[in-house]
Amino acid sequence: MKANNIRYKIGSQLRANRIVKISEILLVLISAYALIKVLTPYAGDNQLMKYGIVWCANILMIGLIWLGIRLRGQKLRDFGLTFGRVSFKESFRIFLLSLLVCILGLAGYMLGTLIMANISGIPESADMSVYEYLHNNIFMLIFTLIGVYFISSFGEEVVYRAFLINRISELGLDTKYGKMVTVLLSAVIFGLVHYEWGPTGIVSTGFMGLVMGILYLKLKKKLWILVLAHAYMDTILLVQVYLSSK
């Protein structure tokens, strides 16, 4: 009974107290950043291990987000994440929409790259050296893709679209212009977490995040469409890195 009372009080604070809401957002982001900073030195020059640490950080964020949902008494569908049987017609519709989102997301990414090229005067590309271990290694490509689909494609959409957009909007920004600010903030954060990709990578992924955030709201928070689109983009990225060594 005492545990239930504590859970109820925490849940009430998460639903009503703005400071507690902000603290939850910071806890999710800072805890992941701290985990990466603490563990990365132990990875040395092992790029695969570094990538595994990032996966662990994403799992930590997803766990904290799930805990926050449970404490509030909410469901995953509040983020647009539904589970259940889908008809063939609806599946095909989701597939087509996910392809469209993928194309628009890639367009946003390329726009960011073009802007950085005009600023620097050099057609610089994002720093993909973190994926060097994929070169000429089909096994690692397949292994990485499986991990990326579960942790990055799914996890990043849960964290940087569903969680950030919904939680930031609860801070008095649930209006037309407030939602624009919310999407912009989530895109900036999404770009910054890709700091290892260099300045061009930050801006490019930031623009991609902006497009994905807008589409998240336009599609009435149907998160699976964005997850699939993100998976397509991750596949293109990693296969490109794998083939770049040939």
With both helix axes pointing from N to C terminus, report the angle between 47-72 and 2-16 in degrees, rounded to the nearest 10: 100
Q: What angle do CA 80, 84, 90 make, to 5 degrees?
A: 80
Query: Secondary structure of 86-106 in the HEC alphabet?
Result: CCHHHHHHHHHHHHHHHHHHH
Phi then psi for 88, rounded to 5 degrees?
-60, -40
pLDDT band of residue 43 (cuts 50, 70, 90) is confident
The DSSP letter of residue 153 is: I
pLDDT digits (tens, 9 = 90+) for 21-34: 999 999 999 999 99
The pLDDT > 90 percentage for the chain reads 53
Res. 126: pLDDT tops 70: no
Cβ-contact 126, 197 below 8 angstroms: yes
pLDDT at residue 181 in the model: 93
How many angstroms separate the CA atoms of 137 and 150, rounded?
21
The closest of 100, 113, 98 to 208, measured between CA atoms, is 113
> Which residues have CB under 8 Å from 176's CB, separation 6+?
none
| pTM score of the predicted model | 0.89
Mean pLDDT for the chain? 88
pLDDT tens per residue across span 142-167: 888 888 898 889 999 999 999 999 99
The position carrying tokens 């991609």 is 208
First vs last Cα of the chain: how many Å apart? 63
Please say whether the beta carbons of 213 and 220 come within 8 A. Answer: no
Band (96; pLDDT cuts 50, 70, 90): very high
Tokens standing for 148?
């990326």
pLDDT of residue 182: 95
Residue 172's pLDDT band, with cuts at 50, 70 and 90, is confident
Could you tell me the residue range of the domain that residue 199 belongs to? 2-243
Report CA-CA distances (Å) from 223 to 51, 65, 117, 180: 24, 15, 32, 18
- Predicted confidence at residue 82, as pLDDT, reads 86
Q: Is the pLDDT of residue 123 over 60?
A: no
User: What number is the average pLDDT over the span 8-28?
Assistant: 91
Number of structural domains found in the chain = 1
Confidence at 7, pLDDT banded by 50, 70, 90: confident
Rounded to whole angstroms, the Cα distance separating 196 from 90 reads 38
Whole-number Å distance between alpha carbons of 130 and 134: 9
Tokens of 50: 């570094």
| 178: CB partners within 8 A, 6+ apart | 169, 172
What DSSP designation does 132 have?
A: G
Euclidean distance between CA atoms 38 and 40, whole angstroms: 6
| pLDDT confidence of residue 219 | 94
